[in-house]
Structure formats: structure tokens, C-alpha cells
Amino acid sequence: MQDAQAKYIGILWYIEWLSSMEAHMHGIEELIYDGRTKYQRVTIARTGSFGLVLFLDGYAQSSEEDEFIYHESLVHPAMLTHPHPRSVLVVGGGEGATIREVLKHESVQRVVMVDIDRELVELAKKYLHEWHRGSFDDPRVELVFMDGKEYIENTNEKFDVIILDLTDPIKDTPGVLLYTKEFYESVKKALTPEGVMVTQATSARYYLRAFSVINNTVSTVFPVARPYKVFVPAFYSEWGFVLGSLSRDPLAIPRAELEERLGKLNLRFLDLDHYYFLFKIPRYMEEKMRKYREISTMSHPLEISL
């Protein structure tokens, strides 16, 4: 036992607190960047288990090993639900992987990416090429550096798809306002008649209440709302998403259409079988989710306490 312990003496460890009672220790092989932008602490490190990892404020945001699982699951159900998406708005997504996935759809003519943290995007351009793969320089992409809530509330443009790749609604942070009924009503107004939105919706393991409340809230605004999840190894959790549609149900898309469109995207994770599996919420989880009936509003917003 002493020999085993001695093997790891001298290794730099990065401790990520997954909840107040659980943490994960990342063995760091190379610390590439560690500093603060105007808005958050950014750490980019090569880890022993997940390769290159982007940490924001102490939490793994995405890893080289499995970021494609998260980003393919976030982007493509919404893009496929719209019959012919041409214009897309991405709020957040500073690594560039979200727009990378959006641009795989041949119908896309314009992508607006709004992120409040210009410094983070510049760091991603420099260090996270495997995430963006040059997507920031695509002529269809417009980068806007400002508050995403403000942009959506004031834009006169209409989008076919809006993708909310946001930070969690942590208590005492501005992010809590991006999960409210009022905000989703602003998102709805910024969509075309067949428009679709999707939001990341926190961990379905650590924050099942939050996942449930986000689903409840989207359901009050959109005629079609579908919660779904995917297991992301670097997050040690099923990760939640909620899709809201003004027209088509993601589970009512003709199977032949899904198969054809998915086949053109050159994906690493999402295929036809996994598409349908995303929306299969386990019975035990459904039973727990039904216990949470509240919605998030500006006066009583959803907040996660760490």
C-alpha cells in the first residue's frame, strides 16, 4: 500500500467538487493555462484520464476525451427537429464546439454566437483547436461579445434554432435569470414560426430538481417540450437538456428523414438508435421528477446551491 501511495507523490492534483459530499481528483500531467478573465477563472490542463480539459471556476466544462458526446447531444436534436435550419443563435459555447456542430448542417447560412467572455474565446482559439477546429473563422459565423439575455431581449432578428449552452443557475450568479419563464418567452419571440430552442439543463444526477424545474418552465412557454439526457463520463453524470419547439415534436420526425440527415453529419456519438435513447427517461427518474412541480420565474428563480 505504501508503494502504491508513493507512486503518486509529487503529482499535481486538481480537485473538482461535484457536490458538497463528493469530489473528483484529476491528476494533472501538464498545466497549460490558469488565470482569471473578467468573468471567471479559467484552467486548461492535460489530465491523466480525460486528456485536455477546460475547467471554469473549478468545474470541468468539457474534455478532449468526450466533449463530442455533450456537444452532439446538445446541438443535433434541435437542429434535426427544425425541417430546414438556416439561421442559428448560440448563446454561450465559448470553446467553439457548439458552433462546430451547428456548421455540419448543410442548410445553415448564418450563425450568431453570443458570449459575454471575449477572453475565454481567445483562449479557446489559442489552446482548444480540437474543440472549435477553425469554426470561429467560418464566414457564416458572427461573434458577438455581450450578455446573452440582453441580446435576445433586444434583437429584432428571428432564428430557426436557438441553442443555450449556458453555465448552471448557481445561486447569486446572473445565470439564474437565463432559466426563467420570462427569459424563455423572450427566446420564443426570437424564433421563426417553426423555431426550436434547446438549453443545457444541469446534471440529472446531482441536480435532478433543477433539471425538472427547467423542464417544467420550458413546458409553460412552448407547445412541445422534451427533456432528454446523455451520460458524459467527465461529468460523472447523466447530463440534462430540455428542447422546446413551436411546431415539430423531435419524436415525431419521420424515421427515414432522421436517418438520412444524421448520415450526412459525420458524428462520433449520435446515431439513430442513440437519438431515440436520449429521450428515454428512466422510470425511477420520471417518478422523482414528477415530485417537483414549481417553475422558475424572475421573482422566484431556480437557484442551485453548491
Residue numbers belonging to the annotated binding site for S-methyl-5'-thioadenosine? 40, 115, 147-148, 174
117 is catalytic: no
Task: Please name which of 137, 139, 115 lies closest in space to residue 61, comparing C-alpha atoms.
Answer: 115
**Nearest one of 106, 93, 197, 216 to 152, comparing CA atoms:** 197
CB burial class (10 A; 0-12, 13-18, 19+) of residue 150? exposed
Distance (Å, whole) CA 34 – CA 46: 12
Q: Tell me which of 66, 165, 168, 271 is the catalytic residue.
A: 165
- DSSP code at position 265: S
Please report, as a single letter, which amino acid is at residue 297. T
| Long-range pairs of 170-178 with CB within 8 A, sequence gap ≥ 24 | 170/303, 170/304, 170/306, 171/303, 171/304, 171/305, 171/306, 172/303, 174/147, 174/149, 176/296, 176/301, 176/302, 176/303, 177/149, 177/298, 177/301, 178/91, 178/148, 178/149
Nearest-10 crossing angle of helices 181-189, 208-221: 50
| Of 28, 31, 96, residue with least CA distance to 61 | 96
Q: Active-site residues: which are they?
A: 165
